[in-house]
């Protein structure tokens, strides 16, 4: 960079490749250089410090151009592409493909036309499509106020039949997540305190549905300490309820199988895991005792039924029927 007043070089930066083009921002604070496959942006106010280095082309970058607003930076290359960068993030927001390698690039007034010169001698001119103006579209006439209040004060007659408009049913958020296969998000929604305390049956039904689909293990896996604590708190609170026990025991066994290798990393989770494991074992013992009791009751009912079937009817001397039981 030279100072025109002294005709001396006041600043020099090392691009690293043969320089093909340079571009100075209107503010004078940033300088863009292109050479090789690189486009580099230099901060002139900090003595030529490198701000960002862009490498989005496959061949030598030959030309640079800046939009009128200064929000877009364009670069042309021998790889037959024009890249459009955002000057706020310096990321590629758009790309143009051409038939030959690009040597020169320019934008017309208000950035409505892009002109590109190529090695095959062709000058390409592309115009941006003008957006349809909203004013040109015919405005839809809105109903008058009297349309909305028409029939509001009408009194029902004797022979009139009143038909109510059916209310539109909206799916709950967890149902929408299940519909879109967002299983982890659906489980997170029903594990919120407002749901687990007021309507635990909804949480259990979602767990049952995920288990039916075979994705309950996927929904429970990959959770951090806070999320797994919420799951464990819900299981500990509701595992002893008979209506929830079959579903929650299965879920507890899946959680123990998934997170058993990482036990010992969090004291809070370890304590809840031990408590949950004890509850599961106690619930399984209760279920075993209930099955034994049910078996005993089945034997008693079967014995009573067999005794009733062995009873016979005999005639008495008076001609009446007498129900006489034969003891086996």
Does the pLDDT of residue 185 top 70, yes or no?
yes
Does the pLDDT of residue 313 top 50, yes or no?
no
Taking CA 311 as the corner, what is the angle to CA 301 and CA 319, rounded to the nearest 5 degrees?
A: 150
| 20-34, 169-183, 293-307, 312-326: least confidently modelled range | 312-326
pLDDT digits (tens, 9 = 90+) for 266-275: 888 888 878 8
Can you give the pLDDT at residue 170? Answer: 86
| C-alpha–C-alpha distance, residues 284 and 278, integer Å | 10
| C-alpha–C-alpha distance, residues 307 and 326, integer Å | 9
Does the pLDDT of residue 327 top 50, yes or no?
no
Can you give the pLDDT at residue 271? Answer: 83
Can you give the pLDDT at residue 49? Answer: 92
**Total H helices, total E strands in the chain:** 9, 15
Can you give the pLDDT at residue 325? Answer: 46
Can you give the pLDDT at residue 222? Answer: 86
Among the listed residues 198, 196, 195, 178, the one whose alpha carbon sits nearest the alpha carbon of residue 186: 178
Can you give the pLDDT at residue 312? Answer: 45
Higher pLDDT, 237 or 325: 237
Torsion of CA 176, 179, 183, 186, to 10 degrees: 20
* Dihedral sign from CA coordinates of 244, 246, 251, 257: positive
pTM: 0.42
Query: In sequence order, what are the residues at sequence separation of 6 or more whose Cβ sits closer than 8 angstroms to the Cβ of residue 270?
Result: 263, 264
Share of the chain above pLDDT 70, in %: 91
Helix (H, G, I), strand (E, B) or coil at 22: strand
| C-alpha–C-alpha distance, residues 321 and 266, integer Å | 78
Can you give the pLDDT at residue 14? Answer: 93
Does the pLDDT of residue 131 top 80, yes or no?
no
Q: Average pLDDT of the chain?
A: 85
Can you give the pLDDT at residue 133? Answer: 52
| 221-235, 255-269, 285-299, 309-323: least confidently modelled range | 309-323
| C-alpha–C-alpha distance, residues 240 and 282, integer Å | 9
pLDDT digits (tens, 9 = 90+) for 208-228: 999 999 999 999 898 888 888
The residue assigned the tokens 């459009």 is: 84
């Amino acid at each position: 960079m030279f100072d025109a007043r002294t005709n001396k070089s006041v600043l020099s930066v090392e691009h690293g490749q043969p320089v093909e083009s340079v571009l100075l921002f209107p503010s004078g604070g940033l300088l863009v250089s292109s050479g090789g496959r690189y486009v580099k942006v230099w901060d002139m106010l900090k003595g030529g410090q490198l701000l960002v280095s862009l490498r989005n082309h496959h061949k030598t970058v030959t030309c640079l151009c800046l939009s009128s607003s200064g929000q877009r930076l364009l670069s042309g290359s021998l790889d037959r592409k024009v890249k459009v960068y955002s000057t706020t993030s310096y990321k590629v927001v758009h790309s143009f493909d051409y038939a030959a390698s690009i040597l020169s690039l320019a934008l017309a007034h208000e950035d409505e036309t892009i002109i590109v010169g190529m090695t095959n001698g062709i000058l390409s001119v592309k115009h941006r499509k003008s957006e349809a103006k909203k004013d040109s579209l015919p405005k839809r006439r809105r109903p008058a106020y009297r349309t909305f209040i028409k029939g509001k004060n009408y009194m029902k007659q004797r022979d009139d039949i009143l038909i109510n408009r059916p209310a539109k049913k909206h799916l709950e958020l967890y149902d929408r997540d299940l519909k879109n296969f967002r299983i982890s998000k659906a489980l997170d929604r029903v594990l919120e305190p407002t749901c687990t305390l007021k309507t635990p049956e909804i949480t259990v039904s979602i767990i049952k549905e995920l288990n039916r689909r075979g994705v309950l293990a996927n929904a429970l896996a990959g959770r951090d300490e806070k999320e797994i604590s919420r799951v464990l708190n819900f299981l500990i609170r509701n595992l002893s309820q008979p209506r929830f026990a079959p579903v929650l025991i299965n879920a507890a066994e899946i959680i123990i199988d998934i997170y058993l290798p990482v036990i010992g990393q969090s004291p809070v989770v370890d304590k809840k895991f031990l408590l949950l494991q004890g509850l599961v074992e106690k619930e399984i013992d209760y279920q075993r005792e209930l099955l034994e009791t049910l078996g005993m009751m089945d034997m008693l009912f079967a014995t009573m039924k067999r005794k009733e079937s062995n009873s016979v009817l005999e005639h008495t001397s008076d001609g009446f029927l007498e129900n006489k039981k034969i003891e086996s």
